[in-house]
């Protein structure tokens, strides 16, 4: 009909407009031949336009409209006549039916045949009669064929459906194979096309038939001794029925939730009733008749049906309720089968195991399953069923359970121990469904799969797996192998690999890691009962050092090594795990194995073309390369923690490890299969050290990062096709550049900046190519930050966006005061910004110039205030980066020269001396008491804590000076409290007066004096006094330093940054240089000086030579290491936020500690930080940082969501934080962690690895 209509329209258009269209085309083509622009599209567009504007077209449309109106009216009239006729015919048929048959109530929507065929009750009764067994075969076949062709819904809605269902159930047992197959076809068709309430009836009838079939002793059901021959006709028919049942079991969960619950419960109960069928047999097990569960296991070995039924709460609730109340025997039988299989494996001798494995692997036996194989398939089914059951709380409540011939009940722990033992004791893989899939059905791999699933469920893993009994069962063969007992010979390499995979999964979860590290009893002795982590580390070390004959010469040995090192990697990539594994020196063993493998890869002979030797050499070379990369990856994971990074640098493999990381990062490969997050934390840790920064640069990581940034910020490569123009950025830093911005923020710590930028001049070229892409940090500073020439500005496609990016980056990295001083000393950053502001002014009248307020001038103003003013949250005011609504969009005054406008200086109370308090007098009296040394120290500390909690403001000014002087003097005179030896120093001011300080130190002095004068702590002349103090300190510390040859810039001369601790102390001492230096000489003998006064241990002779060569300060590998460890335990949400953000707490803490919290805390809190660490111990440095993170928890979580956590932590001051408010919390931390922390801090001189 539609085709004829289109045909008519086309003919009509051709007749009406055809000649006109041809004329227009000829005219248009001739016109275009005379011009240069031509083309088919142009001709078509022109002709179409002329045609639609023509008179003929309008007349045609009017005529066509009239014709269509007539046609449509005629069709409507005909349709109404047809409807009346159909209704009369239906009424007549309905009357006839009511006279001869019962009314058919089926819904039209349920049948696909109801327009042409109605299945009535008389027809169904006829089919029932014809299906009677007494009828001839042909009659029964025809009746069944009629039934199959009828709409299923019509059949269901007939009154005789229940009778028909019973008849079909009986007919399923018909000996005629063709007839029973046709009934199964009807069942399959019903399952596919019918609604649930019909398929439920069919399913339950099929399940009932099978249940009766197995209960009947007349049927020839195979036994275990005879096995199952699947070429046997009876077996084929039985398997078809079970297979059909199983297919429906796997499909029905997808739609039964849309129907009443009773339907689902009937299906579940009929299934469980069938599977619970058992025979009362008194004869031997070998003569046992096979139960239905064996045949279900044959068609669904991994119990997929049970997995799907347990997935949804809707069906799981009913299933578990029925299992608990009526069908618990089904679960008991599954447990019994697992126990029996294990006992079989345990009793089999080695030669029997070998013979059994060969038998099961025979590919010619495709049509016969022996009794052993059937038992194994049922075991696999039981294993998968139990594994799925244990995931859920109600499923675990079914345990413990009583088994036949067993006195004790089987608990959850017993079952898990049984599973782990199956990994070691089970023989080679029997055949299941096909030889091709035999490996997937091996006992070890199946148990491993089940245990992995249990590990993924936290609640389940804690209840089932995380206990000493299960861990000991997993580790028992390792104990045997290490002791060399006879039982060790039964453990294969494959089994060990599976166990290692399970242990790695356990170690990747926090609860599992704690269990492996400390066991269930944290206070137990490691010597008497070593925990899992110790056993794994010892075994891994033996494998790596090859000092054990275990599997010597085996091709699988590297895989076993790799699997167990992977477990260790999960442990030592955490701070607490590394502390436990440090005594085993795994980093040395792995590095040794890597160097050996690296030499082997160089010695692999070159394959000769045409030789049979080629393939073997190629495979050998590939295996060696994979093993080499795995070992480097294992070493790289040490860099996840500060102390681990120190160990990695000691191995000398950091460059190769970082190169491997960059290669994997470039290929978008996952860092580790058990890690939830990527490379961010590792990169941040590595970038926090000088050697790490050099490794990142040499690997190409920094180059790739900057190239990627430039592609997003400015332009991509020449060969990139631009499909559409990029959208104009709305945010100061476009979303496409946000990731690169954060990566640079994480990368540019002061140690990295000094190595990458130190002593390097800017290119400052006269001309820059538009396609000249920066490749290093110096280029970024030159092209994005210090835009001091027209050539640089013209070289940028997006000048404002790119320069804003550079200014934002400068703002963040200059929050590290050492970085600020370095950039100021080398590149005069503030002068460049002031000049730019000067150039951004407009003459509004003859004698008045005003600043142009735009995005860049606002950014520059913010940066200038930030880098010029020092102070905590209440001591300085930073102008916002956004404009305000109203007539004055930016009320903050801009400037192009110093000093800053007064509006940026806070009006806080400065150096308000407080009269001496009674409590302070009591504190000072402690020094006159002549009791035992430990008593007066503890008494003094107790009084200090009391004052800090009640009157913290007293501890400031002259009172603080007196307290510090007396306390440090008494400690330095107490030999037990001195950590470093006394050093004789005789230089005078005249001796050091002519010595020079670095430009960074000079700028630092000016900054300190400016801050001190703002606080009314320093007076005129303070600059010279502080300069003398720093010169004395430098000479004093040089006496305790040793020369060292290193490629690192930070080790080639004196301390590279400014001495913020000495500057702070100078301000505390109110600018008294004699008091300051005398205090420092005494303080230098105490352990606390190593962690508060960072230059104290710069290339110091008191440190081991390898630590000096690493360039890593003890504050990093000790203090920040424990900050991360305690943060994970005390404020886990914050620790997780750091990992999600790809940022390491150690980097920001190192920055805070290095500059004594300047710009982050107000001056009085800086004093309290220093006083607390001196009075209460160096471990309080760690506790204060933990308290800060606890204070910032909500802000940190919020900025994790907005994906700017590193920027927030570096730029924002610590608003509202007071040391005294958290002193009680820090005392609790001291009680819990002091022994461990102080022991490690005291070990820095002989750091054990």
User: What's the confidence (pLDDT) of residue 225?
Assistant: 87
The DSSP code sequence of 1016-1046 is: T---TTHHHHHHHHHHHHHHHHHTTB-----
Mean pLDDT is highest, among 443-447, 599-603, 825-829, for 825-829
User: What's the confidence (pLDDT) of residue 1206?
Assistant: 96
CB of 828 closer than 8 Å to CB of 822: no
State how far the alpha carbon of 319 is from the alpha carbons of 61, 120, 801, 945, in Å. 69, 38, 62, 61
- 569-595 pLDDT, tens digit per residue, is 999 999 999 999 999 999 999 999 999
Q: What's the mean pLDDT in 1220-1231?
A: 96
Q: What's the mean pLDDT in 912-928?
A: 57
Instruction: Count CB atoms within 10 A of the CB of residue 349.
Output: 8
Reading the block at residue 380, the tokens are: 């696999």
CA atoms lying within 13 Å on the CB side of residue 156: 21
- 959-968 pLDDT, tens digit per residue, is 899 889 989 9
CB of 374 closer than 8 Å to CB of 227: yes
Name the band, by pLDDT with cuts 50, 70 and 90, for residue 603.
Answer: low
Looking at per-residue pLDDT, the higher value among 731 and 1147 belongs to 1147
Closest CA to 1018 of 949, 951, 1086, 1064: 1064
- Secondary structure letter of residue 1112 according to DSSP: -
Lowest model confidence (mean pLDDT) among 256-260, 1190-1194, 1202-1206: 256-260
- 771-786 pLDDT, tens digit per residue, is 789 999 999 999 999 9
Closest CA to 916 of 938, 949, 946, 947: 947
Name the band, by pLDDT with cuts 50, 70 and 90, for residue 843.
Answer: confident
Closest CA to 1087 of 1167, 966, 1173: 1173
- 692-702 pLDDT, tens digit per residue, is 999 999 999 99
Cα–Cα distance for residue pair 419/763, rounded to 1 Å: 67
| C-alpha of 1125 from chain center | 19
State how far the alpha carbon of 409 is from the alpha carbons of 328, 336, 414, 697, in Å. 14, 11, 9, 63
DSSP β-ladder status, 228-229 and 368-369: antiparallel
Closest CA to 817 of 491, 1156, 488: 1156
State how far the alpha carbon of 871 is from the alpha carbons of 632, 668, 906, 1191, in Å. 45, 43, 9, 20
Q: What's the mean pLDDT in 166-173?
A: 79
Question: What is the three-class DSSP state of 410?
Answer: strand
CB of 1168 closer than 8 Å to CB of 1219: yes
State how far the alpha carbon of 384 is from the alpha carbons of 273, 301, 323, 451, in Å. 20, 8, 16, 10
Cα–Cα distance for residue pair 837/857, rounded to 1 Å: 6
Burial readout 857-883 (b: 16 or more C-beta within 10 A, e: otherwise): bbbbbbbbbbbbbbbbbbbbebbebee
User: What's the confidence (pLDDT) of residue 1249?
Assistant: 38
Query: Quick one: what percent of the chain has pLDDT higher than 90?
Result: 54
Q: What's the mean pLDDT in 40-53?
A: 76
850 membership: H or E segment, kind and range: strand 848-851
User: What's the confidence (pLDDT) of residue 912?
Assistant: 47
User: What's the confidence (pLDDT) of residue 812?
Assistant: 97
Residue 1203: CB partners within 8 Å, gap ≥ 6?
A: 738, 742, 1141
User: What's the confidence (pLDDT) of residue 97?
Assistant: 45
Cα–Cα distance for residue pair 867/1002, rounded to 1 Å: 16
Reading the block at residue 759, the tokens are: 């002593």
Cα–Cα distance for residue pair 1002/959, rounded to 1 Å: 30
| H-state helical runs in 637-768 | 642-651, 654-666, 680-687, 690-699, 701-713, 735-747, 750-757
Q: What's the mean pLDDT in 375-394?
A: 94
State how far the alpha carbon of 3 is from the alpha carbons of 9, 10, 12, 64, 66, in Å. 10, 11, 14, 18, 21
Looking at per-residue pLDDT, the higher value among 219 and 985 belongs to 985
φ and ψ at 146, to 5 degrees? -65, -40
Lowest model confidence (mean pLDDT) among 80-89, 686-695, 767-776: 80-89
Reading the block at residue 1179, the tokens are: 């471990």
Q: Residue 1001, by phi and psi: left (phi above 0), alpha (psi -120 to 50) or beta?
A: alpha
Lowest model confidence (mean pLDDT) among 791-795, 1026-1030, 1117-1121: 791-795
Cα–Cα distance for residue pair 29/44, rounded to 1 Å: 10
CA 576, 580, 585, 587 torsion: positive or negative?
negative
Reading the block at residue 172, the tokens are: 């399923």
Reading the block at residue 701, the tokens are: 């990581």
φ and ψ at 731, to 5 degrees? -80, 155
CB of 771 closer than 8 Å to CB of 795: no
State how far the alpha carbon of 951 is from the alpha carbons of 541, 918, 956, in Å. 55, 11, 11
Cα–Cα distance for residue pair 113/155, rounded to 1 Å: 12
Reading the block at residue 1070, the tokens are: 């109110």
The number of residues making up the chain comes to 1249
CB of 183 closer than 8 Å to CB of 240: no
Q: What's the mean pLDDT in 989-1005?
A: 92
State how far the alpha carbon of 175 is from the alpha carbons of 172, 181, 586, 1034, in Å. 9, 11, 71, 104
Angle between helices 817-827 and 799-813 (to 10 degrees): 120
Name the band, by pLDDT with cuts 50, 70 and 90, for residue 954.
Answer: confident
Looking at per-residue pLDDT, the higher value among 527 and 73 belongs to 73
851 membership: H or E segment, kind and range: strand 848-851
Residue 362 has pLDDT above 50, yes or no: no
Residue 283 has pLDDT above 60, yes or no: no
- 1143-1154 pLDDT, tens digit per residue, is 999 999 999 999
Cα–Cα distance for residue pair 945/345, rounded to 1 Å: 66
User: What's the confidence (pLDDT) of residue 356?
Assistant: 47
Residue 1001 has pLDDT above 90, yes or no: yes
Looking at per-residue pLDDT, the higher value among 14 and 499 belongs to 499
Reading the block at residue 513, the tokens are: 């890691």
User: What's the confidence (pLDDT) of residue 63?
Assistant: 83
User: What's the confidence (pLDDT) of residue 431?
Assistant: 36
Cα–Cα distance for residue pair 363/365, rounded to 1 Å: 6
The DSSP code sequence of 263-287 is: HHHHHHHHHHHHHT------S-GGG
Residue by residue, what is the 3-state secondary structure of 766-824? Answer: CCCCCCCCCCCHHHHHHHHHCCCCHHHHHCCCCHHHHHHHHHHHHHHHCCCHHHHHHHH
Lowest model confidence (mean pLDDT) among 218-222, 546-550, 1036-1040, 1115-1119: 546-550
User: What's the confidence (pLDDT) of residue 997?
Assistant: 92
Residue 372 has pLDDT above 70, yes or no: yes
Q: What's the mean pLDDT in 876-885?
A: 90
Looking at per-residue pLDDT, the higher value among 792 and 915 belongs to 792
- Secondary structure letter of residue 408 according to DSSP: S
Lowest model confidence (mean pLDDT) among 160-169, 410-419, 678-687, 807-816: 160-169
Cα–Cα distance for residue pair 577/575, rounded to 1 Å: 5
CA 897, 903, 908, 913 torsion: positive or negative?
positive
User: What's the confidence (pLDDT) of residue 121?
Assistant: 58
Reading the block at residue 597, the tokens are: 């493998």
Lowest model confidence (mean pLDDT) among 87-96, 136-145, 977-986: 87-96
User: What's the confidence (pLDDT) of residue 77?
Assistant: 76
Start-to-end CA distance of the chain, whole Å, equals: 89
φ and ψ at 1041, to 5 degrees? -105, 160
φ and ψ at 1228, to 5 degrees? -65, -40
- 472-530 pLDDT, tens digit per residue, is 999 998 988 888 765 555 678 888 999 999 999 999 999 999 999 998 876 555 555 78
Cα–Cα distance for residue pair 1188/1208, rounded to 1 Å: 14
CB of 992 closer than 8 Å to CB of 1031: yes
Query: Quick one: what percent of the chain has pLDDT higher than 70?
Result: 84
Closest CA to 1097 of 1089, 825, 1105, 1007: 1089
Cα–Cα distance for residue pair 1202/1199, rounded to 1 Å: 5
Looking at per-residue pLDDT, the higher value among 199 and 892 belongs to 892
């Amino acid at each position: 009909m539609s085709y004829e209509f289109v045909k008519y329209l086309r003919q009509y258009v051709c007749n009406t407009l055809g000649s006109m269209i041809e004329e227009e085309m000829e005219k248009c083509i001739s016109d275009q031949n005379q011009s240069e622009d031509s083309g088919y599209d142009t001709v078509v567009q022109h002709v179409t336009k002329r045609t639609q504007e023509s008179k003929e077209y309008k007349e045609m449309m009017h005529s066509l409209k009239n014709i269509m109106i007539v046609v449509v009216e005629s069709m409507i009239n005909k349709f109404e006549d047809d409807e009346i006729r159909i209704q009369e015919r239906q009424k007549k048929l309905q009357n006839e039916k009511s006279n001869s048959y019962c009314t058919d109530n089926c819904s039209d929507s349920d049948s696909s045949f109801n327009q042409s065929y109605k299945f009535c009750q008389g027809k169904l009764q006829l089919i029932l009669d014809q299906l009677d067994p007494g009828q001839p075969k042909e009659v029964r076949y025809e009746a069944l064929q009629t039934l199959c062709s009828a709409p299923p819904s019509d059949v269901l809605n007939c009154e005789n459906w229940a009778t028909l269902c019973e008849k079909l159930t009986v007919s399923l047992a018909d000996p005629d194979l063709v007839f029973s197959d046709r009934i199964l076809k009807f069942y399959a068709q019903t399952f596919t096309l019918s609604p649930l309430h019909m398929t439920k009836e069919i399913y339950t009838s099929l399940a009932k038939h099978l249940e009766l079939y197995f209960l009947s002793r007349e049927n020839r059901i195979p036994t275990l001794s005879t096995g199952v021959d699947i070429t046997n006709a009876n077996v084929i028919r039985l398997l078809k029925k079970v297979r059909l049942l199983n297919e429906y079991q796997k499909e029905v969960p997808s739609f039964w939730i849309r129907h009443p619950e009773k339907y689902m419960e009937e299906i579940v109960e009929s299934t469980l009733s069938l599977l619970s069928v058992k025979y009362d047999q008194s004869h031997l097990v070998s003569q046992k008749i096979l139960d239905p569960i064996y045949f279900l296991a044959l068609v669904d070995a991994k119990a997929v049906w049970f997995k799907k039924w347990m997935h949804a709460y809707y069906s799981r609730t009913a299933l578990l309720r029925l299992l608990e109340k009526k069908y618990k025997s089904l679960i008991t039988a599954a447990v019994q089968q697992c126990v029996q299989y294990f006992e079989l494996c345990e009793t089999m001798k080695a030669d029997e195991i070998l013979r059994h494995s060969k038998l099961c692997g025979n590919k010619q036996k495709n049509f016969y399953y022996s009794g052993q194989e059937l038992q194994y398939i049922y075991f696999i089914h039981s294993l998968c069923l139990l594994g799925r059951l244990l995931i859920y709380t109600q499923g675990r409540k079914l345990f413990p359970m009583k088994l036949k011939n067993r006195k004790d009940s089987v608990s959850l722990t017993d079952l898990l121990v049984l599973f782990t033992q199956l990994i070691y004791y089970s023989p080679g893989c029997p055949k299941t469904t096909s030889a091709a899939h035999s490996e997937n059905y091996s006992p070890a791999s199946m148990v491993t799969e089940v245990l992995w699933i249990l590990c993924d469920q936290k609640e389940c893993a804690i209840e089932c797996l995380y206990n000493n009994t299960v861990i000991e069962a997993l580790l028992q063969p390792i104990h045997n192998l290490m002791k060399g007992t006879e039982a060790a010979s039964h453990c294969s390499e494959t089994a060990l690999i599976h166990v290692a995979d399970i242990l790695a999964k356990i170690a990747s979860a926090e609860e599992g890691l704690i269990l492996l590290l400390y066991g269930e009893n944290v206070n137990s002795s490691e010597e008497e009962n070593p925990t899992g982590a110790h056993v794994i580390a010892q075994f891994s070390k033996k494998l790596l050092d090859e000092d054990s004959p275990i599997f010597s010469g085996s091709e699988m040995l590297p895989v076993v090594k790799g699997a167990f090192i992977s477990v260790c990697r999960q442990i030592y990539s955490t701070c607490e795990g590394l502390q436990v594994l440090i005594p085993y020196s795994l980093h040395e063993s792995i590095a040794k194995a890597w160097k050996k493998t690296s030499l082997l890869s160089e010695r692999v002979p070159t394959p000769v073309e045409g030789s049979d030797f080629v393939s073997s050499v190629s495979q050998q070379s590939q295996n060696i390369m994979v093993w080499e990369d795995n070992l480097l990856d294992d070493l790289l994971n040490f860099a996840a923690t500060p102390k681990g990074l120190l160990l990695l640098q000691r191995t000398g493999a950091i460059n190769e490890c970082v190169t491997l990381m960059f290669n994997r990062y470039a290929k978008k490969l996952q860092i580790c299969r058990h890690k939830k997050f990527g490379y961010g934390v590792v990169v941040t840790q590595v970038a926090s050290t000088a050697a790490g920064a050099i490794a990142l640069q040499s690997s190409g990581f920094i180059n790739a990062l900057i190239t990627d940034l430039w592609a997003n910020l400015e332009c991509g490569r020449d060969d990139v096709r631009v499909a559409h123009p990029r959208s104009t950025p709305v945010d100061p830093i476009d979303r496409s550049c946000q990731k690169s911005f954060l990566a640079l923020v994480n990368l540019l710590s002061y140690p990295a900046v000094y190595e990458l930028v130190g002593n390097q001049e800017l290119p400052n070229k006269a001309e820059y190519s538009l396609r000249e892409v920066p490749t290093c940090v110096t280029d970024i500073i030159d092209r994005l930050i210090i835009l001091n020439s027209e050539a640089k500005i013209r070289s940028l496609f997006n000048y404002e966006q790119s320069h804003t990016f550079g200014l934002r980056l400068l703002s963040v990295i200059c929050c590290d005061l050492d970085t600020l001083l370095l950039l100021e000393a080398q590149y005069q950053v503030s002068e460049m910004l002031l000049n730019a502001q000067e150039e951004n002014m407009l003459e509004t009248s003859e004698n008045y110039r005003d600043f142009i307020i735009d995005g860049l001038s606002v950014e520059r103003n913010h940066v200038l205030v930030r880098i010029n003013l020092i102070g905590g949250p209440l001591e300085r005011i930073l102008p916002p980066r956004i404009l305000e609504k109203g007539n004055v969009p930016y009320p903050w005054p801009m400037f192009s020269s110093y000093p800053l406008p007064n509006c940026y200086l806070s009006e806080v109370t400065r150096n308000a001396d407080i009269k001496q308090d009674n409590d302070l007098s009591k504190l000072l009296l402690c020094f006159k008491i002549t009791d035992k040394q430990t008593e007066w120290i503890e008494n003094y500390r107790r009084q200090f804590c009391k004052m800090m909690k009640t009157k913290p403001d007293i501890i400031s000014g002259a009172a603080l000076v007196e307290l510090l002087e007396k306390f440090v003097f008494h400690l330095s005179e107490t030999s037990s409290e001195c950590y470093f030896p006394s050093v004789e120093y005789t230089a005078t001011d005249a001796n050091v007066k002519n010595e020079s300080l670095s430009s960074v130190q000079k700028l630092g002095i000016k900054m300190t004096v400016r801050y001190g004068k703002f606080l009314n702590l320093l007076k005129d002349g303070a600059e010279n006094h502080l300069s003398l103090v720093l010169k004395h300190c430098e000479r004093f510390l040089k006496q305790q330093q040793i020369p060292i040859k290193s490629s690192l810039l930070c080790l080639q001369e004196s301390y590279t940054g400014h001495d913020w601790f000495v500057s702070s102390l100078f301000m505390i001492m109110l600018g008294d240089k004699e008091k300051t230096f005398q205090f420092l000489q005494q303080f230098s003998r105490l352990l606390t000086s190593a962690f508060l006064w960072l230059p104290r241990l710069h290339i110091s002779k008191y440190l081991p030579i390898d630590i000096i060569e690493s360039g890593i300060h003890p504050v990093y590998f000790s203090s920040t290491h424990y900050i991360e460890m305690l943060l994970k335990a005390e404020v886990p949400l914050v620790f997780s936020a750091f990992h999600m953000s790809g940022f390491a707490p150690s980097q920001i803490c190192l920055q805070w500690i290095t500059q004594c919290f300047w710009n982050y805390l107000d001056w009085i809190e800086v004093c309290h930080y220093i006083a607390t660490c001196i009075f209460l111990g160096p471990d309080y440095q760690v506790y204060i940082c933990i308290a800060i993170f606890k204070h910032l928890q909500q802000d940190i979580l919020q900025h994790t969501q907005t994906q700017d956590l590193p920027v927030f932590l570096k730029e924002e001051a610590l608003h509202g934080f007071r040391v005294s408010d958290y002193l009680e919390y820090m005392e609790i931390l001291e009680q819990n962690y002091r022994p461990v922390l102080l022991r490690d801090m005291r070990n820095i001189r002989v750091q054990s690895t």
